[in-house]
Structures are given as C-alpha cells and as structure tokens.
Amino acid sequence: MLGINISDVINVLKSVRPQLIVIGIVLILAVLISIFVNKRTVKDVAAKKMVRSQTWIAALIAVFAAVATMLFGPLNTIVTSVTTPKYELSKESITKASKLAVDIQREGIVMLQNNDSQLPLQTKKVNVFGWASTNPIYGGTGSGSMNDSYATTSLLQGLKDAGISYNTELSDFYTKYNSTRPVVGMNGQDWTLPEPPVDTYPDSMLSKAKNYSDTAVITIARSGGEGADLPSDMGTVETSKPGTKIEGSGFDLRGTHYVNNSNDYADFKAGDSYLSLSQTEKNLIGYVTKNFRKVVLVYNGANNLNLNFVSQYPQIKSVLWCPPAGQTGFDALGEILAGKQNPSGRTTDTFVKDFTKTPWWNNFGSFNYDNMQKYEVKGMFGTSVPSYVNYVEGIYVGYRFYETAAMDGAITYDDVVQYPFGYGMSYTTFSQTMTQPQVNNGKVTFNVTVTNTGTTAGKDTVEVYYNPPYTNGGIEKASANLIRFEKTKELAPGASQRFEISFDLEEMASYDYKNVKAYVLESGSYGISINRDSHNMIDSKAVTVDSPVTYGKGNHRRSDRADVTNQFDNAEGHVTYLSRKDSFANYSQATAKPASSTMPKDQMKEFVGADYKAPEGKSSAKMPVTGAKNGTRLYQLYGKSYDDPLWDKLLDNLTVNEMNELISMAGYNNAEVSSIGKPRQSDIDGPAALNNNFTKVGSIGFPASATVANTFNKGLAQRYGDLIGQMGREMHVTGWYAPAMNTHRTPFAGRNFEYFSEDPVLGGSMAAQQLKAAKAKGVYGFMKHFALNDQEDNRMNMLCTWSNEQAIREVYLRQFEMAAKDGGATAVMSSFNYIGARWSASNPNLLNNVLRGEWGFRGFVETDYFAGGPMIGDEAIRGGNDAMLATTKTTNYITRTNEAETVQLMRKASHNILYTAVNSWLYKDGQPSMDASWWKKAFYIALAVVAVLVILLEVLAFRRYFRRRRELKGASDMQKGSAEKQPDN
C-alpha cells in the first residue's frame, strides 16, 4: 500500500495557507488587543473587560470559520477519504482470494530447464541456498504493493506445506546475516543484494548440509517497483562498505545505494547491470555446484535476469522462473518441486543472453535535453528538466525482432536468445494438430487439438502466430506475431481437448503511416502456425489474400467506430527507426546512442510545460444551462446509453462549482454531487490487490500481473476480475485503478511486475478478461497508463517519448485497444509522460480521436497522480482528459469558469465521469444513500455547540459588563455622597 509522501503534506499545507494565515492573524490580533487594552490605556474596567471578551469571541468565530472553509474546501476530499467507514471483506472472499493466488502461481511458474528429469524432486529433503530464500519477492512497490494485514506464505513455508523439509541451519544462517529486504522505494532505492560471502559459511555447516541431502536449491531474486528503473550500470549507484546502514525508508529514502557484502571485493564493477549476478552470487553458485551434483536454480523476480551463466554449471540441471507470488502463492513453488503440480507457465518475455546486443540497449533510461532549461521545475527532491527516450526499434519489440532477424539471417538465434517468448516445459508431453484454416466473411477459423502423450496429467498452451508477406523496403512486418492463445484444462494421460480458433483477417493488417496512412492487408500468403513458443513451430498452414485491402476513409476495420488515419506524426521526431529492409541493414545506425540531446526548434514550438495558460474562450460559444434544479437524479441514467436525451436534463442541474470539484479533486474518489443525488464513490489501487490507502482495508495480495500473464490462462484472468468486483462491492468500492498494461519494452523497467508482457495481444487479452469480469460485478477498472509509459526513469520529468505511428498503434496501443473494445473499459488512467512533445493527458489525438473516435470508448479519462508542476488541469481538460487524480489543490482546478467554452468542456467531462459512475453496482437498486459523512455530522454538531457557546459567552459577557457598569456607578455614587458629607474646615 502507498504511504504518506512529504510532498503531499506540503501540498496540503499550501492548499490551506490562506486559512492558516487568517487564523494566525486573528490570534495575533487577539493577543495584541488583549495586551494593548489594559489599565493604562482603558480606564473603564467594564469596557476593558468587554473589549477583551468580544475580541476572543470574535477570534473563536473567525478560527471556526477558517477551519470550516478548510474542511469543506481544500481538505474536503482528504478528510472524507480518511473518514470513510471501514467495510471489511467477507471470510468467503478472503478464502477465494487466497485460493486464486495459489492457482495463478501454479500456472505462472515457468520451468525453463529440466535436464535428466531432475524435477520433480525424488527427495523430500533439500538444502536451500541463497539469502533470498528467507526474503523472497512477493510483489513490488507503489500502486502495485500489498496490504500487510494478511499473513504471508514464505518461500520456505511453501516447501514445508508441500511436504519438503529444508535445512534450517542454512535458513537461520541467512536470517542472522540480514533479516529484512532492502527498500526499493519511489523516491530512493537501496539495490543491495544481501548474500553472505562463501568464506563465512562454516565448514561444519557444509558437512551437515551434505549429510542432510544431496540436492540443493539456489534462490536468486530481484526486486522492482514504481518510481525507478532497475540499474543497467551498477557503477552509477552509490556503493558502501559492508555494514553500512542506509538511512531512510519508504518515501524518506533518497538516492540510489548498494552495500557490498565483502571487504575483499565489490559485488559489481562498472558496466555490470542489476540483472546480472553479483560477485557474491557467482561465488555462491560456484560453492554449491562444487559440493552438490543435483542443483535446482529458482529465479524469483518479474524482470528477466540474465541466465546465460546456467550453461556453465552442468550441476544446475533444473531452472524455475518463479515471478512475484503474492501473499500465498509460494505454496505453488513447493507443489511443483514436489511433483504435486505440473508446471505449465510460459515466458511472457524473451530471455536474451546479452543485454548490450539488444536493439533497445542504447535507448532506454535517462536522457535530459540540454536546451530546455527554461522549463525547469523545482520540486521537493531537486530540479527536473524535460527529458526524452527514443523507441528506435519501431515495431521490432521483444520476440518480433529476434524471430524476424533470425529468419532474415541478421542474427544467429541461439547465440542471442536463451529462452524464447511463450516457452515453458512440463513433466509430461503433448501433441498438437491443426486443421486447414477456412476464411468466411473476413473471418479465419480452424481447429486445434491438444493431446497429452505423456504419463502425467498436465496443462498445455496453444499459441497461434501469423507470418505476413513482406516486401523488402515496404511496410515493416515481423515474421512472428501472436494472434490467439488458449490454455487447456488439466488433461490426463491420453486425453485430448479441441479448440476452435477464429480471428478476423483485418487483425493481420499492418499500419502504413508513411503512404496511405491507414491499416493495410497486403495480398499474398499468410502463414498461420501453432507453435511451442515464438521460435519453435509445430505446424503451419497458409491463408491467401488475393487482393490488398486498405482500411482507409469509408472502409475502416469492422472493430473500429470511425475512419483511421495518422494521429501521431508529431511523435516520430528526428529519429532513425530500425527497418527490416535488406535484413536490418540499418541496425547499427538506428540502435546507436542518441547523437544529440538538443530539442529541435519545431518540437520546441509544440512543447508545453508548467507555463501553460488557459486560452481565452470564443465569444460566440453559448453558455450551457447550470443549476437548473429540475429534479433529475443520476440513478435514473443507470443502464441508459451515453447519448440518451435524459443526460442533458441531468447535466443542466450541475453548478459550475460542482463540476469543478468533480473534475479537479478525483483522487481516490468520484466526488459527491448533491444536486443530482450522487454520493461520494471510492476509486482505489491497484494491480496486485484492492487497497484503500486511507482506511488501510484491502484484499490479500495476488501474484504480479507478469505472473498472471505467464499462465496464458484467460480463465484465471477472468476469475481475478470477478473476485476484484466481488471484493469491491464488499469494500464499497466502485473504481479499481487497474489493470496496468504497459509494454515490457526492456527488462529493466521498474514496473514490469505490474505489466503483463512484451506482447500486446497477450497483455490485451488478459486485461480485457479482468475488466469485463469486474465490470459484470459493477466495478469499473482503469486501464493504465495510457500510453507509452514503459519506463519509470524521468516519467514525471516531462519525458518526451518518440516513436513512429506504426509502432505506437501495433505495439504500444494494441493492448489498450483490446481492453477498450473487448473488455468494455469505461475508465482510463492517462500517463505522466509526453508522446512526442505533447503531454499524454492533454493529447486530443490520443484521447479524443483514437480512444473515443476510432475505438468507440465511452467513459472518463483520469490523470495519473496529480503532482502539479507541468500537470495542469486547464490543459488536460482541453485535450480530452476529464478528471485529475488529486487530493489537494495545486494546478488541478479549472480556471476561466466564467467563459462559455470552458463550461462546455466541464459539462462534457462531467458527462463522461458520471456515465462511468452511474453504471457501477452502487446505482443498480435505485437512489443510493446520501447520508453525510460522519465527520460532517460531527462538524454540524460542533457548529451547534460553538453557536450555543458563543451565545452563552455573549450573554455572560454582557451580563458581566452591565453588572460591572452598575457596580462602578454605585461606587462612583458612594464616592460623591461621601464627598458631599465631608465637613468644611
């Protein structure tokens, strides 16, 4: 779960600064008046007392009024969120969640190697080496983090639950070395990999270990999270000697750190990446393989580790990839090792042997412009300047490059790729056969039959790829493209299952952004294959397209709702993109490091930073009706179409202020709108669980999205979404800030754990299943982060992402397109980064033309967490972004609200937000409760008490004043009388 960010606290203080100033001035004045009004300045005691009392009564009223304006103004969203009732989950849901987490992990673990059929284990006793065995990776940090109120099944407990005993002397040794995992936070990262040097292992412990078991399990882990990418060069990380304590935790941690494990050597040298072995890990593997002949390597992490070292150690006969397992998933690891479960996971990314020889190596990470200083933004943690990243590989992301380059002879496949995309082993064997594809009315259909030919029950994956005809120098095309996949049920030996595979011909069209500026299905022979993985084909049949089809003006694809044409010409930039022409002849030129960090003048003209000012509206615009009070209520729109005429009557009721609050303060809530009977609704994180950051109520943590994708099981994704919907209803939540579905462009991206894959069809299919199932339960999911938010470095530093339109559409938007069209998404979270020189959240081509126009999306778009600076509400709403994920006032509020054009934009944004809100479970049974939050009731009680108190104080003050006046008058009369009776001398 997310913690408290100091910058948020400062923003809160800034938002209530006027009220705090008023309170301060009032109290200072009250004190000064009390001091000034004394015996020397005011002789009349009654008047002096009266002035003082009235001063403090006035101060009390003023302070109370200031507090009221804070609570009902800038603090309203936060206070309401914090005081939301704690709706707990049912025992049934908790049990279902726990079971689902294990089921996902059972199919999400990938067996990468199993020489001599070493697995399943023939022994029930193992030596588990590696510090990570006592502190494994359960998830990640940020919005994808977990709720710590639930018990967690550790890796070692998972072994024990499966009936495997482990050497506790080793685990105790690791726990004594270091009991907690270093923090990889959003603002600072401790990348330390604790691992005892092998020279600290007592000889007696090794001797006992050999006697305990002849089998060793080595555990290596890597963590990641929101806010930072994994270091590609550990030489850039601040390194300390062993025993150094890194100060700070969570949001308080600053900088990047690594603490070495030994004084005799450094764990990493300059140029080594975090996804390579540390020297201590290398020594450990050498130590274990020297002393044990049967070794299992378990890699625990979502980011692909460089596993090229495995071939150097013949003793490592088996390798398992166990991605983050959630809070109960490690039971699955034990079951697979013990043979109680048959592994069926497949790789969602390609494992390569050398990162430096990939197309992206020179073009990911941090690149700052050197001529954009005027756009600097000073924040709590330093100064940020506009930055950039070039997606030079074009459409050739992941396996698309390796398969195509190998086919064209540009690379020797086995020298480059260790484990292909879609690869995974089993304890049994399967055969697959396919029928000849038939084409009818633009749809391709054929059958695939899977048979278990082995001796153990298990599940298999059907992977369907297409290879389109390619003309040298023509439209870029990869030779392997996943188009469909299916997962069998558990098949007993000899059992079979048949699948009908179907897809539209138009899904094989390529986007020609240079010439016709539309999707084109070129004529020729299309290879349709069923594969073991992206590289190993089982069978292939041909489908012939006799005549080319251009899905241009007046002939858009059947799945589109409008004609498609170029929308991202300005995102292409001055970049050379990788081309298949002449067997990737331009590889060296295209994949080289950027030659310049100077933004060209044409791009600078389009760039908008924190200096954005809302333009003056058109005088001809007509002011919409507001505050009509016609009695129409939001619940009456439940289930009605977006264009139903009743919407206009409803929207007429909204006041400008209500619309501004609904739009500008949408952080973790969908605001209350009293004029239409709309109560506040909760929207909460995240990709690994449902977590309310304010009430701290949440669900059990599920395995990472990367693990879900490894299953290749759409049924599990559907169960995930269904359970999110059920738990959402129990927690009184209507919006879910997930699924996250950006692309694994590189293995170093910090949030790869909460994204699905390098392949958009795999990611889009999983996301669509989750969204559709949650929606069926009345919970709307936010597909995020829209779009091209594929790295953490500089994501909030005006990161200009440069890519050509074909890659944008075919790789980086495809999963979102599937989620919108197939999953029925009604909510989107836009991204921090820029597409080209335009902020994603203010890009009308992306949000209006593509999302709403081409895809037919109906619903609302909300920013990522609103951090002020270059994020400006006025700009966002003019680009098609409807709501700001803000809880405090920064630059999120809409200005120029006295102008008709601005109010028109606000009305449209409110329509989008309300359409999504009303189609949640909350409105299914009619008008929901509008009971005020308990803090508001408490405030009204306090208001009444203060009012009574003020009245009593005033009565008391005046009674005392008049009494003193009488006493003073009486005393004065007595003095006069006494003077009159005084005899003359």
Q: Write the pLDDT tens digit of every residue in 402-456.
A: 999 999 999 999 999 999 999 999 999 999 999 999 999 999 999 999 999 999 9
Domain residue ranges of the chain, discontinuous segments joined by +: 6-84+934-977, 109-343, 373-585
pLDDT of residue 670 exceeding 90, the answer is: yes
Residue 190: phi and psi, rounded to 5, are: -105, 100
Question: Distance from first CA to last CA of the chain, Å, rounded?
Answer: 94
Instruction: For residue 438, give the DSSP letter.
Output: E
Give the separation between CA 272 and CA 367, rounded to whole angstroms: 20
Give the separation between CA 690 and CA 699, rounded to whole angstroms: 5
CA angle 788, 790, 795 (to 5 degrees): 90
Give the separation between CA 285 and CA 220, rounded to whole angstroms: 10
Q: What is the pLDDT of residues 785-835, one digit of tens each?
A: 999 999 999 998 899 999 999 999 999 999 999 999 999 999 999 999 999
Report pLDDT for 981. Answer: 60
pLDDT of residue 144 exceeding 60, the answer is: no
pLDDT of residue 6 exceeding 80, the answer is: no
pLDDT of residue 543 exceeding 60, the answer is: yes
pLDDT of residue 698 exceeding 70, the answer is: yes
Q: Mean of the pLDDT values across residues 593-601?
A: 96
pLDDT class of 177 with cuts at 50, 70, 90 = very high
Q: What is the pLDDT of residues 8-19, one digit of tens each?
A: 666 677 778 888
pLDDT class of 204 with cuts at 50, 70, 90 = very high
Domain 109-343 matching CATH 3.40.50.1700: the answer reads yes
Report pLDDT for 957. Answer: 80
Q: Which residue has the higher pLDDT, 984 or 649?
A: 649
- Give 14's Cβ-side CA count (13 Å radius): 12
Report pLDDT for 145. Answer: 61
Task: Give CATH superfamily name and number for 373-585.
Answer: Immunoglobulins (2.60.40.10)
Q: What is the pLDDT of residues 350-407, one digit of tens each?
A: 999 999 999 999 999 999 999 999 999 876 556 789 999 999 999 999 999 999 999 9
Helix (H/G/I), strand (E/B), else coil: 919: coil
Residue 506: both structure tokens together: 């138009």
Percent of the chain's residues with pLDDT above 90: 77
Q: Which residue has the higher pLDDT, 176 or 7?
A: 176
Report pLDDT for 17. Answer: 82
What's the Cα-to-Cα distance from 706 to each of 94, 336, 744, 756, 786, rounded to whole Å? 22, 19, 10, 5, 18
By DSSP bridging, strand 827-830 and strand 780-786 are: parallel
pLDDT class of 1 with cuts at 50, 70, 90 = very low
Q: Mean of the pLDDT values across residues 487-504?
A: 99
Q: What is the pLDDT of residues 38-56, one digit of tens each?
A: 878 877 777 878 888 888 8
- Please state at what angle helix 714-730 crosses helix 760-776, rounded to 10 degrees: 40
Give the separation between CA 502 and CA 977, rounded to whole angstroms: 115
Give the separation between CA 812 and CA 785, rounded to whole angstroms: 11
Q: What is the pLDDT of residues 635-658, one digit of tens each?
A: 999 999 999 999 999 999 999 999
Report pLDDT for 778. Answer: 98
Percent of the chain's residues with pLDDT above 70: 96
**What is the average pLDDT value for the chain, to the nearest integer?**
93
Report pLDDT for 9. Answer: 67
Q: Which amino acid is at 529?
A: S
Q: Mean of the pLDDT values across residues 726-748?
A: 96
In contact, 682 and 669? CB cutoff 8 Å: yes
Three-class SS of 715-783: HHHHHHHHHHHHHHHHCCEEEECCCECCCCCCCCCCCHHHCCCCCHHHHHHHHHHHHHHHHHCCCEEEE
Residue 138: both structure tokens together: 């359960």
Instruction: For residue 571, give the DSSP letter.
Output: G
Q: Mean of the pLDDT values across residues 337-361?
A: 98
Report pLDDT for 380. Answer: 54
Which residue is it, tokens 């290596």? 220
Instruction: For residue 149, give the DSSP letter.
Output: T
In contact, 668 and 682? CB cutoff 8 Å: yes
Answer left, alpha or beta for residue 788, where phi above 0 means left and psi between -120 and 50 means alpha.
left
Q: What is the pLDDT of residues 957-980, one digit of tens each?
A: 888 878 877 776 776 667 766 666
Three-class SS of 405-420: HHHCCCCCHHHHEEEC
Report pLDDT for 119. Answer: 97
Helix (H/G/I), strand (E/B), else coil: 932: coil
202: Cβ contacts below 8 Å, ≥ 6 apart = none
Total Cβ atoms within 10 A of residue 118: 17
